[in-house]
Chains A and B, each alone.
Chain A
Amino acid sequence: MNDALLPATATGVAGPSENPGVHGLTRRHHLRWWEALPWILAIAYYFAFPDYLSFGADLLISILFALSLDLALGYAGIVTLGHAAFFGTGAYTVGMLAYYGVWNEPITALILGAAAAAAVGLLSGLVLLRTTGLTLLMLTLSTMALLEQAANMAHAVTGGFDGLPSLTIGPVFGLFEFNPLYYDTQYLFSLGVLFVCFVFMRTLVYSPFGESLTGIRENVLRMHAVGAPVRRRLIVCYCISAALAGIAGGLWAQDNAYVNLSALGLDRAATVLIILILGGYGRLYGAFIGAVVYLALEHFLAQVYPTAWQLGLGLLLVAVALFARNGILGLGDTLWRRFQARRAAP
């Protein structure tokens, strides 16, 4: 049995070509040609739709937020309904620093936002990650609601329900100003941040750390049995995921030049969850597909059919849940495999 696995890695001599399974395993992390597509499309969007850059920037932020959730939910299997807690922490950190004139250099502000969100992630993770299932779902949800109410009550500092308007954000690299009317800087800056975060996440999930997260998701008992520090891994993963969500939130505050309670609400947490499940979780690109499909459809339906736009969206979600296990990308996988099998069959 070991013969199939050993030669390729142990000897390294043209091994992978001998066994397609090993080939798949050892080259899993290699870049494929189509991985350039999202970025080419994102740059093409910038030139093709100069009037829709604000929507585009929103889309990029949603992708980043969904990616952060993918790390916790898709890879480590932490089912959370409170991820907006970290988005909101990042947004309020960046927003309050800018509003009170403490700090408005955008890149370092994002790092501060990420650090604040990671701190919240660490504290809540230490307490919450003992639980699973419905209890964990409710605990994450309640923690987020707690933060939302706290932000609402601390009216003097956070602006309460109305939030903090007209933030002044410094220019990116000291050169490119954020323009409140024309979102070109916002779009490109968001794209750059998303790219950096994506490369980080891609590296992370293909690292041994990422593999151990998948192991925890698939069979936590075995991971305990092989001596993996399960709880520590989960907490670290939750922290990183929170930091990425914090960056998304900070970016949102910078792009829109305001921050309010909607950053922390159940709406946002549920939407990002839907986006990720719709696209396909635990597979990096699900966040991209899900965000594009969901936001484009929502935008389009709300325009042509403003009274009952949720009908189309609801039908799509139900159809995907019924007929496409693991989202749109999961459906793509199934169809692709069926196509391959048919080609091989005759």
Chain B
Amino acid sequence: MTSAADIANMVLGGLSAGTVLFIVSVGLSVTMGLMGFVNLAHGSFAMVGGYIIVLAMNRAHVDLATALVLGFVGTAALSVVFERLLYRRLYRAGELDQVLFTIGLIFIFIATAILVVGPEGQTLQLPPSLDGQLNLGFVQYRTYSIFLIGVGIVIVAGLWLIFERTRIGGQIRATVDNRRMAESLGINVDRLFTITFAFGSGMAGLGGGLGAEFLGLDPQYALKYLVYFLIVVSVGGLGSVLGVYCASLILGVLNFVLTFYLPKGGTIFIYALTILILLLRPQGLLGRKEP
């Protein structure tokens, strides 16, 4: 019999893991929707941000909030350098050259992480205020997981406001729908892309740090979770923030449920479901653009 604690574990644990997945992947969805750029190295920026946050807390002993800001800004700044120097040369290249380039980048990031930090995994030391259990009335659960779910909701709401209510959000939506038309209307797609790329990488960095708890943090991070990032982005729909959020939460909860009931090989259903959804809706759950 599954107890209330088990159900809470599956739902809340799954939601918080899904939230992390969302924070990491949302930038990938938007940049891929904007430019059609297959950026497999997105997870590497999550890893960089994760390292900045974890090392800042563990070695420099700054508090969580400062570390998160450092991680976001540091990753975003690094990604702008990469985007301006390297990525932009490949916008017009075929997707296979982009795949080669971004896999090469993943390798470089892996080797650099091993050389600079070391091959072992890093752990996030939570501040005491987030480390305990929180009584929700009907069930007790880890404060940190509930904190993460809350952060996720705030981020989704914020991104939704940016996308639907600001000028730059409108420009992004227009460009995702039809890039040529947007360009001929005078939208500077190049600059737009740099901004979203930096912002998306910064978010990925946040996700890398916040998720170091569940996903771990080691040099192989980008390769290990690449499939999950891609599933979430394609199932959610390119360029759709809400789609990525839904897909991430479904994947997170499903993963926890399957690990509970079928500890061995339950992930087979995740792949089966992905195939089913993509066959029925090739553009993803909430995607508007034909991929």
Contact = CB atoms under 8 A, between A and B. Distances in A.
A175 to B, nearest CB: 42
A314 B107 contact: yes
Q: What secondary structure prevails in chain A residues at the interface with B?
A: helix
A270 interface: yes
A315 B278 contact: no
Q: What secondary structure prevails in chain B residues at the interface with A?
A: helix
Contact of B264 (A127, A153, A309, A320): A153
A318 interface: yes
A48 interface: no
B107 to A, nearest CB: 3
Given A307-B114, A310-B108, A281 B278 contact: no
A322 interface: yes
Contacts, number: 131
Contact of B100 (A132, A133, A274, A308): A274
A145 B265 contact: no
Nearest to B116: A308
B271 A310 contact: no
Interface string A144-177: 0110011011000000000000000000000000
Nearest to B267: A149
B268 A322 contact: no
Contact of A321 (B100, B282, B283): B100
Interface stretch (A22-30, A32-40, A134-142, A184-192): A134-142
A145 B227 contact: yes
B32 A318 contact: no
Q: Chain B: interface residue count, which band? A: 35 or more
A310 B111 contact: yes
Point out which of A134, A139, A307 has the most chain B C-beta atoms below 10 A from its C-beta.
Answer: A134
Given A139-B275, A149-B271, A311-B107, A320 B96 contact: no
B86 A314 contact: no
Interface in B138-163: none
Q: Chain A: interface residue count, which band? A: 35 or more
B99 A308 contact: no
Contacts of B265: 149-150, 152-153
Given A139-B278, A273-B99, A321 B104 contact: yes
B285 interface: no
B108 A138 contact: no
B106 interface: yes
A79 B95 contact: yes
A277 interface: yes
A138 B103 contact: no
A197 interface: no
B104 to A, nearest CB: 3
Closest 8 CB pairs of A and B: A317-B104, A314-B107, A311-B111, A321-B101, A314-B108, A153-B265, A149-B268, A308-B111
Interface of B: 32, 38, 86, 89-90, 93, 95-101, 103-112, 114-115, 119, 226-227, 230-231, 233-235, 238, 264-265, 267-268, 271-272, 274-275, 278-279, 282-283, 291
Interface of A: 73, 79, 127, 130-135, 137-139, 141-143, 145-146, 149-150, 152-153, 266, 270, 273-274, 277-278, 281, 307-311, 313-322, 325-326
